[in-house]
């Protein structure tokens, strides 16, 4: 487990090439996600799929809010939509969001997971199934244990896992729950997570 | 990774076995959701592998019925997405009133919440007496529940709020009798309702209809099966008939996109072109 990025040592191992990034956040997540996604340059080519826990409501304005601050195109994920490169997708409130094996997105109203729908575990586990080792998962601040199992599964399937350093998270419950279940590749503060996502894209594209 | 591929093979074999033995066709359902529901069923059956589950359901029809309860998703509420029902009341009902008689198909009605909501709306608009509602589902247990029209009392407060937002004209409590923890719905609401077993995956059209409501069913289908369902709806609907979908369902990615016009796009209300 590495705790900074870029690493200070010159013999830093190369990051793996991934095809997609999944991100999960709960309490304190809006600010954390804005900090990370703001660092991504215009023309960023990896797709990013995000679950942010929000109160159940019919329509969410997350995509609009982020579109104002993020250089890449942002949208709420539609059912059966094929994941497009360079797009940031948000899960719609009230529905789980999954990645299918043909790299399309699907919605469902199965029971809540850790009191949440959308659930980070549901997104992460289905994305691990679809992408295997060509996936990076990022778990951030939150007052829930959602995402711990999903992050562990990404790791188990050979993907890259990144957990926000609990000491620097607004709410440390969620990153700590993930650490209790598995040892991520990186335990990082937000600015380093941004740099890592930039580097992941440079390698992959 | 290797172990996972085994599970994928087993899942496909299970789905195939269910189709061959019981004619329930889950082959074109969205894979991620089916996988989660089978994993959930495995834990409840206390079985280790999907192959073991396959053996069980192949030789024991009652075990299959149990599994079917996991494979279908009975998440519903009355007047779910109230603005949707308000839009039906304001935009669709005035046009339905021009027909001497109306046939409504509620496809994938689950435990009946959508059926009673629609019946209440049509009664308040003076249409229920000349309407036949076909309420169909693949799960016989859900249909049986729908026929009973008995719902948990603890949901009534939320349903009442939905009903008011949906433009309800009376008191929601006039439609049910409270008995202990249950709300027993007025049985005259279902006098013109026919509950029937029907699969959008394997069955064909059974009647001409003026309005089809299919909400939060299509999200569980892949694109191919969604298109099959849209084909059935197109065939069943009369000229300029209405199709209403769930709040996150759309014709936009379908081959039938150009055969329907959006009437209230935000509320997923379409009209056959």
Residue range A32-78, pLDDT digits in tens: 999 999 999 999 999 999 999 987 766 778 898 899 999 999 999 99
Q: Collect all residues of chain A within an 8 Å Cβ-Cβ radius of residue B33.
A: 96, 98, 106, 108, 110
Residue A187 CB-density burial (10 A; 0-12 exposed, 13-18 middle, 19+ buried): buried
Q: Collect all residues of chain A within an 8 Å Cβ-Cβ radius of residue B31.
A: 100-101
Could B30 and A108 be called an inter-chain contact, meaning their C-beta atoms sit closer than 8 Å?
Answer: yes
Which B residues 217-246 touch A at CB under 8 Å?
218-220, 222-223, 226
Q: Would the CA dihedral through B168, B169, B175, B177 be positive or negative? A: positive
Could B75 and A111 be called an inter-chain contact, meaning their C-beta atoms sit closer than 8 Å?
Answer: yes
The predicted structure's pLDDT at residue B177: 97
Residue B195 and residue B146 in contact, taking contact as beta carbons nearer than 8 Å? yes
Question: Is it the case that residue B3 has pLDDT exceeding 80?
Answer: no
* pLDDT-based confidence at residue B253 (cuts at 50, 70, 90): confident
Residue in A121, A146, A165, A185 annotated catalytic: A146
Nearest CA to CA, how far is A187 from chain B (Å)? 24
* pLDDT-based confidence at residue B62 (cuts at 50, 70, 90): very high
> What pLDDT, in 10s, does the model give residues B95-152?
999 999 999 999 999 999 999 999 999 999 999 999 999 999 999 999 999 999 999 9
For chain A, which residues lie within 8 Å of any Cβ of chain B, measuring from their own Cβ? 58, 78-81, 92, 95-96, 98-101, 104, 106-111, 122, 125-126, 129-130, 132-133, 157-158
Question: For A16-25, B5-14, B158-167, which range has the lowest pLDDT when averaged over its residues?
Answer: B5-14
The predicted structure's pLDDT at residue B1: 47
Question: Is it the case that residue B89 has pLDDT exceeding 60?
Answer: yes
Average pLDDT over residues A21-30: 96
Residue A7 lies in a domain: no
Question: For A9-18, A131-140, B29-38, B257-266, which range has the lowest pLDDT when averaged over its residues?
Answer: A9-18
Instruction: Name the average pLDDT for chain A.
Output: 93
Q: Under DSSP, is residue A48 helix (H, G, I), strand (E, B) or coil?
A: strand
What whole-number percentage of chain B has pLDDT above 70?
99
Cα–Cα–Cα angle for B32, A53, A94, rounded to 5 degrees: 60
The predicted structure's pLDDT at residue B74: 74
The predicted structure's pLDDT at residue A9: 65
The ipTM (two decimal places) reads 0.91
Nearest to A126 among B4, B32, B83 (CB): B32
The predicted structure's pLDDT at residue B5: 79
The predicted structure's pLDDT at residue B65: 97
The predicted structure's pLDDT at residue B122: 98
Count of the separate structural domains present in chain A: 1
Instruction: Name the average pLDDT for chain B.
Output: 96
Query: Which residues form the domain of A154?
Result: 20-204
A108 is catalytic: no
Question: For B31-45, B67-81, B221-235, which range has the lowest pLDDT when averaged over its residues?
Answer: B67-81
Q: Measured over all CA atoms, what is the biggest interatomic distance in chain B, rounded to whole angstroms?
A: 62
Residue A1 lies in a domain: no
Residue A3 lies in a domain: no
Average pLDDT over residues B237-256: 94
Q: Collect all residues of chain A within an 8 Å Cβ-Cβ radius of residue B35.
A: 126, 129
Average pLDDT over residues A21-35: 96
**Rounded CA gap, B142 and B134, in Å?**
15
What b-and-e string marks burial along B4-26, b requiring 16 or more CB atoms within 10 Å of the CB?
eeebeebbeebbebbeeeeebbb
Q: Which helix (H) or strand (E) holds B116?
A: helix B113-124
The predicted structure's pLDDT at residue A7: 74
B82-272 fold: Rossmann fold (3.40.50)
**Rounded CA gap, A94 and A75, in Å?**
16
Residue A121 and residue A96 in contact, taking contact as beta carbons nearer than 8 Å? no
Could B4 and A129 be called an inter-chain contact, meaning their C-beta atoms sit closer than 8 Å?
Answer: yes
Query: For chain B, what are the domain ranges?
Result: 2-71, 82-272
Q: Find the CATH number of the domain harbouring A35.
A: 3.40.50.180
**Rounded CA gap, B194 and A94, in Å?**
31
Average pLDDT over residues A1-18: 80
Average pLDDT over residues A90-114: 94
The predicted structure's pLDDT at residue B145: 96
Q: Would the CA dihedral through B40, B46, B52, B55 be positive or negative? A: negative
């Amino acid at each position: 487990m590495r705790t900074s990025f870029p690493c200070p040592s010159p013999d830093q191992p190369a990051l793996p090439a991934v095809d997609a990034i999944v991100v999960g956040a709960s309490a304190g997540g809006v600010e954390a996600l804005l900090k990370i996604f703001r660092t991504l340059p215009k023309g960023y080519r990896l797709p990013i799929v995000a679950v942010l826990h929000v109160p159940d409501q019919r329509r969410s304005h997350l995509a609009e809010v982020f579109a104002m601050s993020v250089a890449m195109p942002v949208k709420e994920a539609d059912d059966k939509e094929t994941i497009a490169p360079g797009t940031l997708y948000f899960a719609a409130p009230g529905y789980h969001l999954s990645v299918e094996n043909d790299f399309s997105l699907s919605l469902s109203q199965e029971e809540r997971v850790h009191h949440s729908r959308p659930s980070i575990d549901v997104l992460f586990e289905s994305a691990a199934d679809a992408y295997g080792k060509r996936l990076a998962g990022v778990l951030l601040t939150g007052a829930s244990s959602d995402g711990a199992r999903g992050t562990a599964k990404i790791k188990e399937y050979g993907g890259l896992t990144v957990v926000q350093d609990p000491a620097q998270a607004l709410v440390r419950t969620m990153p700590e729950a993930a650490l209790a279940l598995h040892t991520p590749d990186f335990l990082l503060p937000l600015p380093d997570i941004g740099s890592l996502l930039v580097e992941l894209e440079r390698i992959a594209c | 990774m290797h172990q996972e591929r085994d599970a994928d093979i087993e899942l496909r074999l299970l789905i195939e076995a269910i189709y061959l033995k019981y004619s329930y066709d889950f082959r074109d359902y969205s894979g991620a959701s089916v996988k989660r529901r089978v994993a959930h069923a495995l834990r409840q059956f206390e079985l280790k592998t999907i192959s073991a589950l396959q053996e069980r359901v192949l030789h024991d029809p009652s075990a299959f019925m149990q599994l079917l309860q996991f494979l279908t998703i009975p998440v519903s509420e009355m007047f779910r997405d109230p603005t949707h029902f308000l839009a039906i009341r304001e935009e669709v009902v005035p046009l339905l009133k021009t027909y001497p008689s109306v046939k409504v198909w509620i496809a994938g009605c689950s435990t009946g919440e959508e059926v009673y909501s629609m019946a209440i709306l049509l009664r308040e608009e003076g249409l229920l007496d000349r309407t036949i509602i076909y309420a169909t589902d693949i799960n016989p247990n859900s249909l049986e529940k729908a026929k009973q029209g008995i719902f948990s009392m603890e949901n009534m407060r939320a349903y009442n709020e939905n009903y008011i937002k949906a433009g309800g004209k009376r008191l929601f409590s006039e439609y049910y009798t409270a008995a202990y923890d249950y709300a027993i719905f007025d049985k005259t609401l279902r006098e013109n309702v026919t509950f029937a077993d029907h699969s959008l995956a394997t069955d064909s059209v059974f009647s001409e209809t003026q309005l089809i409501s299919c909400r939060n069913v299509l999200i569980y289908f892949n694109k191919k099966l969604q298109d099959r369902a849209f084909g059935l709806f197109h065939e069943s609907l009369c000229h300029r008939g209405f199709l209403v979908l769930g709040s996150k369902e759309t014709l936009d990615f379908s081959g039938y996109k150009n055969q329907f016009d959006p009437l209230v796009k935000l509320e997923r209300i379409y009209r056959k072109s």
